[in-house]
Amino acid sequence: MEITDVPREKVYRIIVLVTSAIFYYAHYLGYMRVSDAVISAIFLGALYYWLKVSSYKEMSSSEIYQYYTNSMIFMLSTLYAIIMIPMEARGPWGILGALAYASLTYAAGNFVLWLSYIYEHMKKYLAVKKAERELRRRLQLRKPPLLKRIDPLMISFTLLPLTIMTIFLLIPVTIIIKNAFIPPQGSSDYLYWIKEVFTGTNYVRPRPLGDFFVVDNVGGVPVLYLGGARITWNMGILINSLIVATTVTLTATLFGLILAFIMARYEFPGKTIMRVLVLVPMFIIPFANGIALKALLSSEGFLSVLLHDYLKLLPWRIHLQGLAGVMFLQIMTFTPIAYLNSYSSFLNIDPNLEEQAENLGAKGLRLFLTVTLPLALPGIAAGSILVFIFSLEDLAGPIVFNEHNLLSYQIYSRLINEATQGRVLPEIAAAAMILLLFALMGFAIIRSYVSLKQYAMISKGGRWKPRSRKLSPIGTVFAYIILLSILMIASVPQVGTILLTFGLLTPYGQLTPDTFTTNYFVNILESPNINVYIKNSLLYASLALLLMLAISIPAAYAVSRGRARLLAILDALVTLPIAIPGLVVAVGLFYFYSSWPFRGTPFDPTSINVYNAMYVLVVAYGVRKVPFMARSVFAGLQQTHKSLEEAAMNLGASRAKVITSIVIPLILMNILTGILLGFIYSTTEVSVSITLGGIKQEQAPLTWYMKQMVISGTQAVYNVAALGTLLIIIQLVAVMIIVLGFKQSYAFISL
Amino acid sequence: MVKVRLEGITKIYGNIVAVDNMTLEIRDGELFTFLGPSGCGKTTTLRLIAGFEYPDKGKIYLDEEDATYMKPYQRGTAMVFQNYALWPHMTVFDNIAYGLKLRKIPKSEIKERVKRVLELVKLEGMENRYPTQLSGGQQQRVALARALVVEPKLLLLDEPLSNLDAKLRVEMREEIKRIQKELGITTIYVTHDQEEALTISDRIAVLNKGKVQQAGTPFEVYNRPRNMFVATFLGRSNVVEGTVVETSGTKVKVDVGFAELWGVTREEYLEAVQKETKVGVVLRPEHFTRLPGENEFNELQLKVIFTMFAGMRQEVKALIDDTELLIYYPPTIILHPGDIFKVYIPVEDTIVLPL
C-alpha cells in the first residue's frame, strides 16, 4: 500500500507535541517528574509511528486509526498517569483523577485529528474546485448570468437565519473568548485567568479535600454519607466538573443502552405498558426533581429507610451530599437521552445486515459486538455526548445539593453577584470559555468519530420491520428485573415530585399517605404571587416559538434544498446551540447587551430602569432551543422528495407558491412537533432564566421562581414540586399530541 | 406544439462533464427519446430543458425563442417524474387541477378539463382518491394527466415507467404512445430501457458520456449503428476484429481470421475504412439465418458449444476457429453440443465500423 496521506503523518507529530504539553502540565501540577514526562511523550510518539508502519501491510491508515490508535492512546496514557502519580496521592480518587487526565490526553489527540480531517477535507474540496476551474477554462465555459442563477427567496432564507444566529449566538460567544484574555489590573499576562482556571488550587487540587464515603452514627442508625459529610469531597472545581460529567455520561449511556436494547429487540408480555413507563423519566422538571431525590435519599428519607431498615439490603442508610447528589440526579435526568438515541439507532439498523451476519455464522454476543453495536454506535455516541454537555452545564443539580465546587455553579453565582454591580470579571469569561471548550471538544470528538464510521446502511427505501425476538418466560423475568430496576431509579424524581405536590411526602422524605391535599397545586394556579411566573414563562416561550419558526423553516429549507457552500455553515450554526452550555450564552449575552449597540436599551441588564427580561429571554430561548425545531423541520424536508417541488414549479408555481402550497402542508406535522418541543424546552430552560431572567423579580420566569424557593427553604419546597407537576402535565399533553396525534417519534434529542 | 433546439449545450458538475457540447433538434410533434446507460447525461439534459438547471454553455431554443435561462414556470413544459411526484396531501383532483388553478382558470372549466383528462388516461371517477390509495399504474396515469391537463407545449417524461412491473410497463408505454399521437404533442422521453425506447420513439438519441452517439429512427440506430458504442449498447452483438482486404463503395471485405467476410460500412467512414485498416465487424445474433436468402450473404460453418432454449428461439454459443459467436437459431431444430452446422448472414447486415 502506498503512503499517500501526508496530512496524517503531520497529525502523528502534532499528537506527540500535544501529549508532551499535557505531560508538562501534569508535571507542573506535581503529578510527574519532567524527565518522566519527556520520555513518556517520546515513547508514545514512537509507538504511534510503529503501529502505523507495521500495520500498513494489511490495513488502510484510517483503519489503524479506528481500531488501534484510539484505544492505545487511551490505555497507555491511563497507565502512565497512574504510574506517574506520586504514591501518596494515589488511592481510589487519585486513580480517578488520573483517568480524567488520561481522557483529556485522549480528547486533545482526537481534537487534533478532527482538525486534520477538516484540513484534508478542505484540501480535497479545493482540489476539486481547482479541477473545475481548469475544466471551465479548457471548455471555455462561463457561469450562467448571476441574476439568473440566484433566487432572491433562497438568498433571504439563507441570510435571515444566518444573521440572527450570528448576532445572538456567535458574537456573544466571541466576546467571552475575547474577555477571557483580559489581563488583571496592573499585569500584562493575557493568559492569567486561563492559567488560573487550569492551575489555581480552587480549580485543581492535587489531593482531594474531604472523603467521599463517610459512615456516621446518627441516633444509633448507621448512615453512609455519599459525597462527604461536613466537608464535601472536592478535587477542585475543574476536576470535579470533569469527574461528574464523565461518570454521569458513562453510567447514563450504559443504562440507556441496556434499556434500549431490551425495548428494541425483544417481545414480551406487557411491552406496551413498559413503553409508556419509559416515558416517565423523560419529563424535564428542573429543581423539583432534585428536591424529590434529596428528600428520598437522605438519612430520614423513605428510600434510605426502606433499603436499610425494612428490606435490609444495605448496611446503612444513604444520605446524598455534594457531588454524589449531583451525579445521582444527573444520571437519573439524562438516562432518557441516552435511551432515546440508542433506541432509535437500534431501530434504524437494516435487519438484513444482521441477518447476513447470522447467515455467515455470527450469533449472540459476537453478533452484537461485531455488527449490531458498531452500526448503532454513531447514534449511541451522539446520545452520550449530549449527556456530557448537559451534565457540564447543569445548574439545577448543584443548586439543589448546594454544591459550589463546579464550573457551572461558579459561573452562575459570580455572574449574578457581579451583574448587580454592573460589571463581570474576566475570570468568569475564562471559566465560561473553558466550559465551552470542553463541551465543543466533546462535540468535535463525536462528530469526527461518527463521520469516520459513516456506515452507509443501504436500504430499499421503505421502513423495514425491526428485528425482535420473543422472550422465554425466564428471559421475560430477567428483562423485567433489569427494566424495572433502571426505570425505578430513573423515575424517582418524577414520582417524588408528584408525591410532594399532593402532600404524600415530607421535605425530609417521610411518606405520609394520610395527608393528601391538592392545596399546593391549586395554590400555584390561583395565587397571583406565583402564577405571574407561570404567565411570564408561557408568554416568553410563545414569543420564542415565533422566533424559532422564523429561523428554522428558512434555515432547514435552504440547507436541504440549496447548494451553496455557505449553507454548511448555516447548518452547523442551527445545530451548534445544543453544544453551547446555557451559562456560556448567559455570560456572553450579559457582555453583549451591556455594550454598544444595546447599551441603555431594554436588553441591557446593567440599565435596571429600562431593562426588560422579556426581550432577553425570548431571544435567548429562541436561539438556544432552535436546534430542536430545526432538526424536526429538516427531518420532514428530507422525507419530502425534491421532485414534489419541481413538479409544482414545472406546472407554473413560483418558489414562494411552492413553499406555501406544497412544502408547508407536507411538513406540517414536523413543524407542529417542533413547536411542541420548542415550547417544552423553553419553559424548562434554566441557565439564562435564573441569571439574566431574574434581574427584575416581576419579570422573572417560572424556573427562576423555582430556584428562589429551593434556596429559601423547607415549606416553599411544596410550591416547587407543584410547579414541577404542572410542567409534567404540560409535557404529558405535548407528548400525547406528538405520539398519538402526529404519529411522530419522541426520539428528538439527537444530533 | 413546439420544436426544440439544443445548441452546443455543456453542463458540468464539479469536474465531471455531464453534458458535453450537445447539439440536437427535436421536431414538432415527435416523440423523441434520450437513451443511454446511467450517468450518460440524459436526465441532466431533460432537466436543462425543463429549466431546473442552467447550462454552463450553449443555448436552448423552444421554437425560435431563447429559453436557456427562463424559469421553469415560464417555459410551458410539463414533466412526468420517475417517482411520479404526486402530492400526497392532495386528492387526484387537486393534484391535476393544481396547474390550472395557477393559471387562474375558472372553476367550472377546471372541473371540465380534469374530467376530460381523466377520461383520456382512463381514470374516470377517481377524483377524490388520495395518491396513496392508488396502484403504481394508476399513480403513473395521474402524473401523466397532471402534466397533460395544462396543455403543455412540450411534454417531458423522465423514466416514467421504471417503477412499474414488466407487464404494466408494456401496457403503459402503448398507452403513452397512443395519447401522444392523439394530442400530437412534442415529447421528450428519457429511458435506459432499449426495448422501451425502440418501441415507443419516433426518433432516438443514443447518449454516452454526455455526447450524442447517434440520433435517428429506431430502425436506423438498431440496424445501422454509427459506432461501436451504439452497436454494442443496443441489442446483443458479436464484434470481431479484422483487416480490410478489399473495398468497393460502401462494401468492404474484411479478413477476420476465421473467414473473409463481406460487409457494409457507412458513407461517412469511406475515408477511414481503407485497405489494410483494422476494423470491427458487428454481427447481430438474430441476423444469422439457417438457409441462404436472396441477397448477398456470408457463409459460416460452426461447432456448437452449448445451447439455451428461450421459447421463441434457441440461443447457440458456437465456435469457429478460436472465435466464439452467439447465434439465434430457430427453436424447432434442436442442436446439441458438438454438432457442426452452417449459418448465413446477409452482407447488408454485416456492419463494418472503424475501431
Q: Over range A661-680, report the average pLDDT.
A: 88
Average pLDDT over residues B6-17: 88
Residue among A391, A403, A399, A224 at smallest CA distance from A303: A224
Mean pLDDT of B244-271: 89
- What's residue B284's pLDDT? 92
Are B57 and A141 an interchain contact pair (Cβ–Cβ within 8 Å)?
yes
H-assigned helices in A55-90:
61-64, 70-84
Position A444 confidence tier, pLDDT thresholds 50, 70, 90: low
* Inter-chain residue contact A132 with B83, CB threshold 8 Å: no
Question: Read out DSSP for A156-175?
Answer: HHHHHHHHHHIIIIIHHHHH
| Angle, helix A70-84 to helix A6-28, in steps of 10 degrees | 20
Which are the contacts of A129, defined by CB distance < 8 A and separation ≥ 6?
none
Contact A647 B85 (CB under 8 A): yes
Q: Strand B186-191 to strand B154-158: parallel, antiparallel, or no bridges (unpaired)?
A: parallel
Of A134, A141, A649, the CB nearest to B10: A141
Closest partner residue to A132 among B14, B57, B69, by Cβ? B14
- Among candidates A141, A149, A661 on the partner chain, residue whose Cβ is nearest the Cβ of B12: A141
C-beta neighbour count of A143 within 10 angstroms: 10
Q: For B149, which residue in chain A has the nearest alpha carbon?
A: A651
pLDDT greater than 80 at residue A526 = yes
Give the strand order in the sheet containing B340-346: B323-329, B314-320, B297-309, B340-346
Asked whether the beta carbons of A393 and A149 are under 8 A apart, the reply is: no
In the predicted structure, residue B220 carries a pLDDT above the cut 50: yes
User: Which chain A residues touch B10 with a CB distance below 8 Å?
Assistant: 139, 141
Using the beta-carbon criterion (under 8 Å), do A641 and B79 form an inter-chain contact?
A: no
Cell of B261: 467476410
Q: Residue B5 forms beta bridges with which residues?
A: B25, B61
CB-CB under 8 Å, A140 with B103: no
Question: Measured between CB atoms, does B337 come within 8 Å of chain A?
Answer: no
Beta-sheet pairing, B297-309 with B314-320: antiparallel
- Asked if A666 is an interface residue toward chain B (Cβ–Cβ < 8 A), one would say yes
Q: Verify whether the Cβ–Cβ distance A644 to B146 is below 8 Å.
A: no
8 Å CB contact of B89 and A135? no
A388: Cα within 13 Å, side-chain hemisphere: 24
Contact B56 A141 (CB under 8 A): yes
Residue contact B12–A143, C-beta within 8 A: no
* pLDDT at residue A451 tops 70: no
Q: If you count residue pairs, one on A and one on B, with CB atoms under 8 Å apart, how many are there?
A: 94
Phi, psi for residue B187 in degrees, rounded to 5 = -135, 135
Q: What is the pLDDT of residue A307?
A: 84
**Backbone φ, ψ for residue A398 (5° rounding):** -55, -35
CB contact under 8 A, B73 and A647: no
Chain-centre distance of CA B76, in angstroms?
A: 24
DSSP state letter for A307: I
Place of cell 501540577: A29
Beta-ladder partners of A181: none
Are residues A647 and B81, on separate chains, in Cβ contact within 8 Å? yes
B-chain CB neighbours of A647 within 8 Å are 79, 81, 85, 87, 146
Bridge partner list, B301: B342
Q: Dump pLDDT digits (tens) for B152-176.
A: 989 999 988 888 888 888 888 888 8
Q: Which residue has the higher pLDDT, A350 or B123?
A: B123
SS3 assignment, position A713: coil
A592 contacts A171 by C-beta, under 8 angstroms: yes
Q: Provide the shortest C-alpha distance from residue B61 to chain A (in Å).
A: 16
Are A32 and A23 spatial neighbours (Cβ–Cβ below 8 Å)? yes
A contacts of B102 (beta carbons < 8 Å)? 651-653, 657
**Is pLDDT of B278 > 60?**
yes
- Cα dihedral A496, A500, A503, A508 in deg (nearest 10): 90
SS3 B157: strand
Which of A257-271, A449-463, A733-747 is predicted with the least confidence, judged by mean pLDDT?
A449-463
Would you state the pLDDT for residue A598?
81
Residue A105 clears pLDDT 70, i.e. is over it: no
Whole-Å CA distances, A142 to A130, B10, B54: 15, 10, 11
> Closest Cα partner for B186 from B24, B19, B8, B10?
B24
B14 touches chain A (CB under 8 A): yes
CA pair distance A696, A699, nearest whole angstrom: 6
Cell numbers that stand for B12 in this block: 458540468
Give the mean model confidence (pLDDT) for residues A194-206: 77
Of residues A47, A53, A37, A44, the one with CA closest to residue A16: A44
Nearest-angstrom CA–CA distance, B197 and B210:
18
pLDDT surpasses 90 at A603 = no
Instruction: Identify the weakest region by mean pLDDT among A357-361, A382-386, A434-438.
Output: A357-361
Measured between beta carbons, the chain B residues lying within 8 angstroms of A142 are 56-57
Q: Looking at the complex, does the CB of residue A462 fall below 8 Å from at least one CB of chain B? A: no
Put simply, the answer to whether A646 touches B56 (Cβ < 8 Å) is: no
pLDDT at B202 over 70: yes
3-state class percentages of chain A: helix first, strand second, coil last, to nearest 5: 70, 5, 25
d(CA A75, CA A61): 20
Angle, alpha carbons A511-A515-A518 (nearest 5°): 115
- pLDDT grade for A639, boundaries at 50, 70 and 90: confident
Neighboring chain B residues of A663 at a CB cutoff of 8 Å = none
- B14 contacts in A (CB within 8 Å)? 128, 131-132
Q: Which residues of A touch B82 (CB under 8 A)?
A: 643
Mean pLDDT, chain A, integer: 78
Give the pLDDT score at A48: 56
DSSP string, A177-241: HHHHTPPPTT---TTHHHHHHHHSTTT--SS-BS-SEEEEEETTEEEEEETBSSSBPBS-HHHHH
pLDDT classification of A219: cutoffs 50, 70, 90: confident
pLDDT for residue A69: 52
Q: What's the rounded Cα separation, in Å, for the pair A129 and A127?
A: 5
Cis amide linkage into residue B331, ω under 30° from 0: no
DSSP designation for A741: I
Contact B205, B33 (CB under 8 A): yes
A115 pLDDT more than 70: no
Of B12, B78, B81, the CB nearest to A132: B12
Q: How far is B51 from chain A (nearest CA, A)?
A: 8
Is the CB of A649 less than 8 angstroms away from the CB of B73? Answer: yes
Which three three-digit cell numbers place residue B291?
438457409
Cβ within 8 Å, pair B102-A652: yes
* A128–chain B nearest CA distance, Å: 7
Percentage of chain B surpassing pLDDT 90?
Answer: 52
pLDDT value at position B32?
A: 95
pLDDT at B318: 93
Task: For A84-100, give the DSSP string.
Answer: HS-GGG-HHHHHHHHHH
Rounded distance between C-alpha atoms, residue A190 and residue B17, angstroms: 53
Residue B304, beta-bridge partner list? B318
With an 8 Å Cβ cutoff, are A652 and B103 in contact?
yes
Separation CA A690–CA A524 (nearest Å)? 19
Does B56 sit within 8 Å of A136, measured CB to CB? yes
pLDDT band with cut points at 50, 70 and 90 for residue A596: confident
What is the reported pLDDT for A36? 56
Cβ contacts of B68 on chain A, cutoff 8 Å: 144
* Contact assignment for A644 to B79 by CB distance below 8 Å: no
A186 has a chain B CB within 8 A of its CB: no
d(CA B263, CA B249): 11
CB atoms within 10 A of CB B168: 16
- The verdict on a CB contact (< 8 Å) between A149 and B54 is yes
Q: What are phi and psi of A502, to 5 degrees?
A: -100, 25
Question: Looking at the predicted structure, is the pLDDT value of residue B53 above 80?
Answer: yes
What does the angle CA A74 – CA A77 – CA A83 come to, to the nearest 5 degrees?
Answer: 140
Q: How many C-beta atoms surround the C-beta of residue A375 within 10 A?
A: 19
Cell of B234: 443496443
The DSSP bridge pattern shows strands B154-158 and B77-80 to be: parallel
Please tell me which residue of chain B has the smallest CA distance to A667.
Answer: B89
Judged against a pLDDT cut of 50, whether residue A440 lies above it is answered with yes
Cα distances (Å, whole numbers) of residue A679 to A619, A626, A672, B34: 14, 11, 10, 52
Subunit contact A135:B12, Cβ cutoff 8 A = yes
Closest residue, chain B, to A643 (C-alpha): B85
Given a cut of 90, whether residue B25 has pLDDT beyond it is yes
Across the beta sheet with A221-226, the strand order is: A213-218, A221-226, A317-320
pLDDT of A748 reads 43
B15/A135 CB distance under 8 A: yes
Which B-chain residues 56-115 have CB contacts (< 8 A) with chain A? 56-57, 68-69, 71-73, 77-79, 81-83, 85, 87-89, 98-99, 102-103
Secondary structure class of A747 (helix, strand, coil): coil
B239–A contact, CB cutoff 8 A: no
**Predicted local distance difference test score (pLDDT) of residue A23:** 60
Q: Are strands B251-255 and B260-264 parallel, antiparallel or unpaired?
A: antiparallel
Closest CA to A434 of A31, A25, A104, A183: A104
Q: Do A644 and B85 touch (CB under 8 A)?
A: yes
Q: Does A136 touch chain B (CB under 8 A)?
A: yes
The CA distance from A446 to A441, in Å, is: 9
- Given a cut of 60, whether residue A750 has pLDDT beyond it is no
Task: Say if the Cβ atoms of B69 and A148 lie within 8 Å.
Answer: yes
Q: What is the mean pLDDT of residues A526-546?
A: 90
Helices (H), A562-667: 566-575, 582-593, 613-624, 626-639, 642-650, 655-658, 664-666
Kind plus residue range of the DSSP H or E element containing A609: none
What is the rounded CA–CA span in Å between residue A240 and residue A97? 9
Mean pLDDT of A152-167: 90
Mean pLDDT of chain B: 90
